[in-house]
Amino acid sequence: MTGMIKAYIRAELNSKFGIKGILKKLCYMVMVAVGAAVDYLLRGAVIGAGITLDVKLFFGMLVTVWLTINELISVMENLAAIGVPGFPRLQRILKRLRCTVADESGASDEKEE
């Protein structure tokens, strides 16, 4: 929503970009589903090997946390772009959290728009 508001205010509202954004969000759901599937398969393999594992959704949760942090940063950036007074400290904390998750997971710290 904040992205659409920003595009409207800047007179950059475009259906092509809107559809791209919707498809991007759908791909986020696919990424979470793939993470959950990896968790399911690994858990089955570990149980099959006779190892007890208490963690049920590690990769699915990692992907979800990563995407949530990126979306929160995006919302903060959009709000700043439309002139809403922001919380710079919160934005710094979110960026630090994103770096921490990236370091822990070995993921890249590049943010895609």
**Is 0.85 topped by the overall pTM?**
no
* Cα 105 from chain centroid (whole Å): 13
Q: What is d(CA 73, CA 84) in angstroms, rounded to the nearest whole number?
A: 14
pLDDT in tens, the chain (113 residues): 888 888 888 888 888 888 888 899 899 999 999 999 998 898 888 888 888 877 777 888 889 988 998 888 888 888 888 888 777 777 778 778 778 877 766 655 444 44
In a domain? residue 64: yes
The answer to whether residue 110 sits within a structural domain is: no
Give domain status of residue 72, yes or no.
yes
> How many distinct structural domains can be found in the chain?
1
Q: Is 35 exposed, middle or buried (0-12, 13-18, 19+ CB in 10 A)?
A: buried
The total number of residues shown for the chain amounts to 113
The distance of Cα 107 from the centroid of its chain, to the nearest Å, equals 12
**Domain for residue 46, yes or no?**
yes
Domain range for 45: 2-105
Helix, strand, coil proportions of the chain in percent (round to 5)?
Answer: 75, 0, 25
Task: Assess if residue 89 is contained within a domain.
Answer: yes
E strand or H helix that includes residue 18: helix 15-48
